[in-house]
Amino acid sequence: MREVLIRGAEVVVTMDGARRELAGADVLIRDGVIAAVGVGLASTGEVVLARGCVVTPGLVNTHHHLYQTLTRAVPGGQDALLFGWLKTLYPIWAKMGPEEIRVSALIGLAELALTGCTLSSDHLYLYPNGARLEDTIHAAGEIGLRFHPTRGAMSIGESAGGLPPDSLVEREADILNDCIRVIDSFHDASEGSMCRVGVAPCSPFSVSRGLMKDAADLARDKGVMLHTHLAENDEDIAYSLAQFGCRPGQYAEDLGWTGADVWHAHCVKLDSAEIDLFTRSRTGVAHCPCSNCRLGSGIAPVRAMRDAGVKVALGVDGSASNDAGNLIAEARQAMLLQRVQNGADAMSAREALEIATLGGAQVLGRPDCGSLEVGKRADIAIWDVSGLEAAGAWDPVAALLLAGPPRVRHLFVEGRQVVRDGQITTIDLPRVIETQNRLARQLAG
Ligand SMILES: [Zn+2]
């Protein structure tokens, strides 16, 4: 039996059913699970002092392309809309291989961990030069984050009227076979699972209708989740109307891409009928506000979706379109962006924090994560609010989003300390950064 006691927090934000915030409270972890939350707990195990800290559930990231940390701030892609941005980056991505995929994943996951994330999904939809999904799975294992990798895919290349170059697309039969391989090899459906695999054709404009349908059938057969990009911007809607004769929501519904086991990234352009469809079908949304701003895609109707009962979570999106992977900053951006559109009372700091934690766990189908309650997995972020950023704050919980700090002091995943005093404990981060920069220079050369 292994115990860790997080003691004497300024506030413990539970995200339980009553959204209780407990002043001066402790959290007791036993064998990777939360054993108690309350004031004056005792343990004979390790003690981590949390004086001056806000303790929250670990944040959940529901959309990323980790490999893109190798193509941050690429000059030709800095100021382009989605389709032009993709066309600039595809030839660079085509030069990557297994080492690039693994190292870039370590970088992206380290950045997430330091900014409060304990559970991340990833959407890997290109496999150049022998790269495989497990290159990212091994990286997540090294760093110790809970991981939901999705087996993405592109099958319609330029010669067939698609957007990506032919060298980056795969045969549809090969895609489905590799989905089966990675699910059978790496998917763990059990409670407390550290790895769940999903099926994720890249987008309706890079795979066929047939593959969308087959992917949905396969995912249901295997009991895994489905993920893709949907209704990202006006170009995306125009493409759907021109190619499929319907809006993206209709396309998704027709092909089996709605349900509690599906989540779509972006959904910036969902109309009211589509929001209603998502509510009825319990389909989830990965809201990626920084990427939407960066690519000028628009403001997702998060207020309307939340009011209608749609499950909304956060995603930092790939690092070629953010270009940060800072999840607490993403929560702040989500809050600010709704206010731009709907006024200052459109989203509170606490609601944004709820979307970033509980909301993410709900979208990814993880009732065992997302809140600090007895029996839940011990995925915990500890934020030091005694420092510069929150100095003078009257409400330390709201200050997390309104002021800072931008990084955690400590982070626990499944009860294991992945960040201690602001440093990753599991990998030699300075060395990985060096390798990453060397690989980026090679790609640029
Ligand atoms: Zn994306």
pLDDT tens digits, residue range 239-268? 999 999 999 999 999 999 999 999 999 999
**Is 163 a residue whose pLDDT tops 90?**
no
**Is 83 a residue whose pLDDT tops 90?**
no
- Ligand 1 center to residue 27 CA distance, Å? 35
- Ligand 1 center to residue 351 CA distance, Å? 23
pLDDT of amino acid 81:
82
CB distance 312 to 305 below 8 Å: yes
Query: What's the mean pLDDT in 25-34?
Result: 98
Phi then psi for 45, rounded to 5 degrees?
-85, -160
- Ligand 1 center to residue 315 CA distance, Å? 9
Alpha-carbon distance 107 to 82, whole Å?
24
- Ligand 1 center to residue 148 CA distance, Å? 15
Phi then psi for 397, rounded to 5 degrees?
-70, -50
- Ligand 1 center to residue 69 CA distance, Å? 13
For 111-131, the pLDDT digits (tens) are 999 999 999 999 999 999 999
- Ligand 1 center to residue 177 CA distance, Å? 23
**Is 146 a residue whose pLDDT tops 90?**
yes
Tokens of 360: 């993410």
Residue with tokens 């989203």: 347
- In what order do the strands lie in the sheet containing 21-23? 21-23, 11-13, 53-57, 380-384, 410-413, 416-420, 423-424
pTM of the predicted model as reported, rounded to 2 decimal places? 0.98
Bridge partners of residue 149, in order along the sequence: 122
- Ligand 1 center to residue 318 CA distance, Å? 6
The closest of 304, 256, 307 to 283, measured between CA atoms, is 256
Alpha-carbon distance 50 to 27, whole Å?
10
- Ligand 1 center to residue 404 CA distance, Å? 26
Alpha-carbon distance 335 to 401, whole Å?
8
209: which DSSP letter? Answer: H
| Portion of the chain with pLDDT greater than 70, in percent | 100
Beta-strand ranges (E) seen in 125-275 are 146-153, 198-201, 225-230, 262-266
- Ligand 1 center to residue 321 CA distance, Å? 8
Phi then psi for 194, rounded to 5 degrees?
-95, -10
Tokens of 275: 């929001």
Burial class (CB within 10 angstroms; exposed 0-12, middle 13-18, buried 19+) of 348: middle
Alpha helices (H) along 234-390: 234-244, 248-254, 272-281, 289-294, 302-308, 327-342, 349-354, 360-363
The closest of 209, 193, 91 to 148, measured between CA atoms, is 193
CB distance 39 to 22 below 8 Å: yes
- Ligand 1 center to residue 402 CA distance, Å? 26
- Ligand 1 center to residue 66 CA distance, Å? 10
More confident residue, 253 or 80: 253
Tokens of 294: 């960066």
- Ligand 1 center to residue 193 CA distance, Å? 24
- Ligand 1 center to residue 358 CA distance, Å? 21
Biggest distance spanned by C-alpha atoms of the chain: 67
Average pLDDT, the chain: 97
Confidence grade of residue 156 (pLDDT, cut at 50, 70, 90)? very high
Residue with tokens 């990234």: 265
Bridge partners of residue 147, in order along the sequence: 120, 195
For 176-190, the pLDDT digits (tens) are 999 999 999 999 999
Phi then psi for 415, rounded to 5 degrees?
80, -5
- Ligand 1 center to residue 265 CA distance, Å? 7
- Ligand 1 center to residue 173 CA distance, Å? 24
The closest of 310, 222, 302, 304 to 263, measured between CA atoms, is 310
- Ligand 1 center to residue 280 CA distance, Å? 25
pLDDT of amino acid 213:
97
- Ligand 1 center to residue 429 CA distance, Å? 25
- Ligand 1 center to residue 64 CA distance, Å? 6
pLDDT of amino acid 82:
81
CB distance 286 to 330 below 8 Å: no
For 322-362, the pLDDT digits (tens) are 999 999 999 999 999 999 999 999 999 999 999 999 999 99
Bridge partners of residue 59, in order along the sequence: 117
Q: How many CB atoms lie within 10 A of CB 388?
A: 9
Peptide bond into 289 cis (omega under 30): no
- Ligand 1 center to residue 122 CA distance, Å? 9
pLDDT of amino acid 162:
82
- Ligand 1 center to residue 152 CA distance, Å? 11
- Ligand 1 center to residue 151 CA distance, Å? 13
CB distance 119 to 412 below 8 Å: no
Q: How many CB atoms lie within 10 A of CB 157?
A: 18
CB distance 142 to 426 below 8 Å: yes
Tokens of 196: 């769940």
More confident residue, 22 or 163: 22
For 271-324, the pLDDT digits (tens) are 999 999 999 999 999 999 999 999 999 999 999 999 999 999 999 999 989 999
- In what order do the strands lie in the sheet containing 198-201? 59-61, 117-124, 146-153, 198-201, 225-230, 262-266, 284-287, 311-314
Confidence grade of residue 64 (pLDDT, cut at 50, 70, 90)? very high
- Ligand 1 center to residue 162 CA distance, Å? 17
- Ligand 1 center to residue 42 CA distance, Å? 44
- Ligand 1 center to residue 395 CA distance, Å? 34
- Ligand 1 center to residue 251 CA distance, Å? 19
**Is 80 a residue whose pLDDT tops 90?**
no
- Ligand 1 center to residue 362 CA distance, Å? 19
pLDDT of amino acid 161:
84
- Ligand 1 center to residue 128 CA distance, Å? 18
Alpha-carbon distance 4 to 6, whole Å?
7
Residue with tokens 């950023």: 389
Q: In this structure, is the dihedral angle defined by the CA atoms of residues 323, 329, 334 and 336, taken in order, positive or negative?
A: negative
For 362-420, the pLDDT digits (tens) are 999 999 999 999 999 999 999 999 999 999 999 999 999 999 999 999 999 999 999 99
